[in-house]
């Protein structure tokens, strides 16, 4: 009976003030969509880092006039270096073969480049790709070395773009969340005001505090959860129409976003939406329903 009472109070509360309820749900949904998107982005960047950093290499390009002794010396030095997992020497011929393969669909380019124009190099895999700078410092001044290039640098530019998008999503999620919180607080105040007579009687006859507050808190939680469901729907649509639709080429190039990752966002969004609304409602009631 008490549960039924509380639930019917929640429904009545949401209906009584339906425009405010809708506004609350919409802002909550937009905020949670942004939050979900940035969460997705965060997991995605992580997955990409895992996928790419495994194969990442530091390329040490050698001077054209490097001597075989210098090459051998560098080879044994690299192999002795504890930071290096694997060092592979690539001769001019091997470099040319790879070049041919890489640009197989542009034969003009392949024809224009002669085999001996490509530099000899070492392809170095590091134990920890973050320690590129130490490798660079150790070898940059050595005789016979032309240039040292870290593939990580190139990837990091992509990651920093993704990071910026993620920060933007988080910032707009925060701004929308503040709006949502104020709307929750306002809705609860209005609800508490419109039920002030009931609340006064309940206090007078000794209804417990949770019983007085539960309908209001649940009202906010229901709105928060509805917002999370709508926000999750927006994420699903985004996955179908954007990631698998118009941005298909881009997502194929990078790591594709899995459905499982998208679904992982729902409990996250619902949890944040529900808890934040409940917290706001509870704090608001502290001020408006003094015992």
Partner 1 sequence: MTKTYPKASRPSLDSVSVSIEKGEFVFFIGPSGSGKSTIIKLLLHEVTPNKGRVVVNQKDVTSMRSWKIPNFRRSIGCVFQDFRLLPNRTAYENVAFALEVIGKTKAVARRVVPEVLELVGLGGKEHRYPHELSGGEQQRVAVARAFVNRPLILLADEPTGNLDPDTSIEIMRLLDRINRTGTTVVMVTHDSNIVNQMRRRVIEIESGRIVRDQARGVYG
> CB of 31: closest distance to partner 1 in angstroms?
34
Q: Terminus-to-terminus CA distance in the chain, angstroms? A: 24
Q: Which of 211, 241, 259, 287 binds partner 1 (CB under 8 A)?
A: 211
State how far the Cα of 186 lies from the Cα of 192, in Å rounded to an integer: 10
**H-helix segments, the chain:** 2-16, 18-53, 68-80, 92-102, 107-112, 132-139, 151-194, 196-205, 209-237, 248-253, 259-288
Q: Could you tell me which of 228, 266, 176, 194 has the C-alpha nearest to residue 14?
A: 194
Are the CB atoms for 236 and 262 separated by under 8 Å?
Answer: yes
At its nearest, how many Å lie between partner 1 and the CB of residue 6? 11
* For partner 1, the closer CB: 2 or 111: 2
Candidates 56, 155, 207, 247; binder of partner 1 (CB under 8 A) is 207
Minimum distance, C-beta of residue 279 to partner 1, in the bound complex (Å): 19
Is 204 near partner 1 (CB under 8 A)? Answer: yes
Q: Are 125 and 85 in contact (CB under 8 A)?
A: yes
CA distances to 139, 247, 268 from 240, in Å: 48, 10, 20
Binding segment (CB under 8 A) for partner 1, from list 100-108, 116-124, 163-171, 207-215: 207-215
Q: Which residues, other chains included, contact 100 with Cβ-Cβ below 8 Å and sequence gap of 6+?
A: 110
Count residues near partner 1 (CB under 8 A): 18
Write down the least CB distance from residue 204 to partner 1, Å.
Answer: 5
Q: Choose, by CB under 8 A, the member of 162, 165, 202, 278 that binds partner 1.
A: 202
Beta carbon nearer to partner 1, 101 or 290:
290
Q: SS3 of 86, please? A: strand
The least distance separating partner 1 from the CB of residue 200, rounded to whole angstroms, comes to: 7
CA distance 272 to 265: 11
Among 105, 206, 246, 260, binds partner 1 (CB under 8 A): 206
**Which of 18, 112, 205, 253 is in the footprint of partner 1 by CB under 8 A?**
205
Per-residue binding letters, 4-23, with partner 1 (x by CB under 8 A):
-x------------------
- What's the sign of the alpha-carbon dihedral 170, 171, 176, 182? positive
What does the alpha-carbon distance between residue 270 and residue 173 come to, in Å, rounded to a whole number? Answer: 14
Identify which of residues 84 and 285 has a Cβ nearer to partner 1 in the complex: 285
Single residue of 115, 200, 237, 250 touching partner 1 by CB under 8 A: 200
> Which C-beta is closer to partner 1: that of 210 or that of 252?
210
Interface residue list for partner 1 (CB under 8 A): 1-2, 5, 197-198, 200-209, 211-212, 291
């Amino acid at each position: 009976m008490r549960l039924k009472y509380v639930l019917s109070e929640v429904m009545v509360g949401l209906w009584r003030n339906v425009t405010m309820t809708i506004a609350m749900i919409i802002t909550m949904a937009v905020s949670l969509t942004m939050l979900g998107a940035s969460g997705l982005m965060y997991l995605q960047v992580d997955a990409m880092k895992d996928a790419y950093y495994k194969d990442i290499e530091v390329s040490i390009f050698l001077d054209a006039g490097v001597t075989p002794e210098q090459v051998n010396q560098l080879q044994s030095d690299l192999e002795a270096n504890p930071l290096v997992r694997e060092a592979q020497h690539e001769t001019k011929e091997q470099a040319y073969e790879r070049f041919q393969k890489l640009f197989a669909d542009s034969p003009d380019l392949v024809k224009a480049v002669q085999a001996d124009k490509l530099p000899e190099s070492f392809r170095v895999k590091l134990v920890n790709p973050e320690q590129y700078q130490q490798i660079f410092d150790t070898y940059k001044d050595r005789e016979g070395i032309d240039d040292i290039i870290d593939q990580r640098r190139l990837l990091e530019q992509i990651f920093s773009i993704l990071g910026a998008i993620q920060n933007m999503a988080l910032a707009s999620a925060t701004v929308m969340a503040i709006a949502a919180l104020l709307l929750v607080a306002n809705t609860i105040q209005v609800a508490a005001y419109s039920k002030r007579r009931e609340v006064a009687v309940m206090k007078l006859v000794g209804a417990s505090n949770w019983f007085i507050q539960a309908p209001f808190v649940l009202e906010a939680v229901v709105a928060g959860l509805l917002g999370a469901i709508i926000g999750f729907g927006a994420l699903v649509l985004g996955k179908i129409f954007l990631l698998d639709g118009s941005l298909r080429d881009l997502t194929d190039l990078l790591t594709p976003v899995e459905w499982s990752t998208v679904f992982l966002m729902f409990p996250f969004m619902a949890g944040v939406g529900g808890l934040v609304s409940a917290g706001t409602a509870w704090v608001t009631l502290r001020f408006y329903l003094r015992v």
